[in-house]
Structure 1
Amino acid sequence: MTDLVSIITPSFNSAEFIEDTIQCVLDQTYKNWEWLITDDLSQDKTVEILNNYKDPRIKLQVLEKNGGAGNARNKSLERAQGRYIAFLDSDDLWYPEYLEMMIDYMKEKNAELVYCNYSRCDEHTMLPILKDFEADTIVTFSNLLKTCRLAPVSTMYDTKRVGKFFFPVKSKREDHVMWLNLLREIPEGHPLKQTLAKYRMRENSVSRKKKNIIKDQYLVYKDFMGFSTVKSLYYTANWALNGFLKYSKFFN
């Protein structure tokens, strides 16, 4: 018997893209999944589109109040029953073999967490506009402090071994905080050096606006990691430099 995978998805005004995301999940070669979508009070046709799909594995919750992506992910995590946790935002895509290959690799490495390469694509054509982001090294708490190698679209962890990890709703860098908290509890995460996902690089994405979130990143270290001011500034500077190198071609 295969283990259940819980797919965690926040949605908000995703009508333009979400049908492609739905199809990529339905096309997965690994079939034992539940898809926990929490809609953050969309004002477009996102919920209507989702309700058109009658697959019982798709489990939609619509919030009564907008609370942000971290809160929506937490609501899905609360309902998750699967051994494995996978994250898929409502505008991103997986290759059909994503779940199957990630789970097989996790078992092969006897790992609690694995991550893979992903394509960085134009938001409309989904054609690559940067070199694929490479899962190039074993990830640890120490090296994750300087740059966030882990993206929701390309990372999976095993709740049987590490439990569930939730997102801090008071941080705009909730992904990075969550990964750091997880890596504090395990020795390392393993890289699957194969491209299995597509990340949609949207012009208005918060993660693209590096200059606007320097303070938020500083607070990751100062408030959530409990570091001193000097130590927090050091890691913020490293993060900013690595972020610039990671996305510089996107702005040229």
Structure 2
Amino acid sequence: MPKISVIMPVYNNAMYLQEAINTILWQTLNDLELIIIDDGSTDGSAGIIHDIKDTRVKKIFHTENMGIVTSLNQGLDLAQGKYIARMDSDDVAALNRLEMQAYFMDTNPTIDICGTGYTTNYLGPVKLNPMHHEEIKVWLLFHSCILHPSVMMRRSSIDRLGISYDYNYPHAEDYELWNRLSSSAKLANLPHNLMYYRPHEGQVSNKHRVIQDDSARRIRQRQLSQLGIQLSDNEYAIMVKLAEYRVNSEDFEDYRIAEGFANWLIDQNRQYQVFDQEALKMALSRCISRMPTNM
């Protein structure tokens, strides 16, 4: 049984695929299996996968495109490793990524899931997400602060918590999963740059923004319902403005409305005690002050 199983869904990424595969097969920790699931690609990706000779690679081919959630859940079912890592077919992993994450998981047995820092440019800057569980839980109200292709999970946690991706949140399946697990699993992020997250026009956030935004709204509302809050359209617009750091501190009315909304969340949390109160105050302060956590 390998120490690490890496799940890589593929759909029409022939331009970047070989580099992504190499950065996993060349890892400093090589006790791994790479599960590549081609989801009906039509651009030559399947041919690249067919040509791989490394015996650590498991190859699954779909005759038609079934969607990433199907591929991800299939990968979870097939994975044999103590740890399950994610990798996208258009990104680049640092060659010590798996070694560093596995060491962290080995030495922090209460952590169920961990992500890493990353760049979107080879020259930087490095983007670091919140490190500790209570911070992550709060920031998940606003955006997905765990980079999906950088994630490593425990096999035992997947089995214990019944972890799988939900088809009902298209193009935000990872954001939904982290929010769902934030009350039952321990989450962490490593403060190290271990991924190059490649920006390009074919990314989900560029191609399916409207659908993704609808999924994100339902995820946020589900979390806020724990505070006894059901947002109107106008209130949700304020929430999005906070999440996107668009509050204009020089506009008195804009700032007043945002501050009132933030105080409402703080008061509700004081009553329901869902989130760490100080972490929530800090996150809302940063949103209003337009100081993203990803520095």
Does structure 2 retain, via aligned residues, the 8 Å contact 1:118–1:196? yes
Cα distance, 1:71 vs structure 2? 1.6
Q: Between the two structures, name the one with larger relative contact order (CA 8 Å, sep ≥ 6).
A: 1
SS in 2 for 1:61: strand
Cα-to-partner distance string for 1:82-115 (whole Å, 9 max, x where unaligned): 1211100100111110000001112223322222
1:113 corresponds in structure 2 to 113
Contact 1:210 1:243 in 2 (8 A): no
- Which position in structure 2 is the counterpart of 1:191? 189
Equivalent of residue 136 in structure 1, options 130, 144, 147: 130
Match in the other structure for 1:250: none
Instruction: Give the TM-score, by structure 1 length.
Output: 0.82
- Counterpart of 2:264 in structure 1 is none
Where does residue 243 of structure 2 map in the other structure? 242
Q: Which has the higher Rg, Structure 1 or Structure 2?
A: 2
Residues 162 and 48 (structure 1 numbering): CA distance in 2 closer, same or farther, change over 3 Å? closer
Q: CA deviation at 1:137?
A: 2.9
Unaligned runs of 5+ in 1: 122-126, 247-252
Q: Is the 8 A contact 1:37 1:60 kept in 2?
A: yes
Aligned-residue identity in percent? 24
1:146 aligns with 2:147: no
1:140-175 deviation per Cα after TM superposition (whole angstroms, max 9, x unaligned): 434322221111222211122452521112322111
C-alpha distance in structure 1 between counterparts of 2:102 and 2:36, whole Å: 21
Structure with the higher helix share, 1 or 2: 2
Task: Give the SS at the match of 2:198.
Answer: strand
The alignment covers a number of residue pairs equal to 237
Shift of 1:3: 5.6
Higher deviation after alignment, 227-236 or 29-38:
227-236
Residue 36 of structure 1 deviates from its aligned partner by 1.1
- Residue 8 of structure 1 contacts residue 85 of structure 1 at CA under 8 Å; is this kept in 2? yes
The TM-score normalised by the length of structure 2 is 0.71
Deviates more, 1:134-143 or 1:192-201: 134-143
Write the deviation string for residues 171-201 of structure 1: whole angstroms up to 9, x where unpaired: 2211111112222212x32231110111011
Contact 1:7 1:34 in 2 (8 A): yes
Letter in 2 for 1:62: F
Q: Verify the 8 A CA contact 1:139 1:149 in the aligned structure 2.
A: no
- Structure 2 letter corresponding to 1:103: A
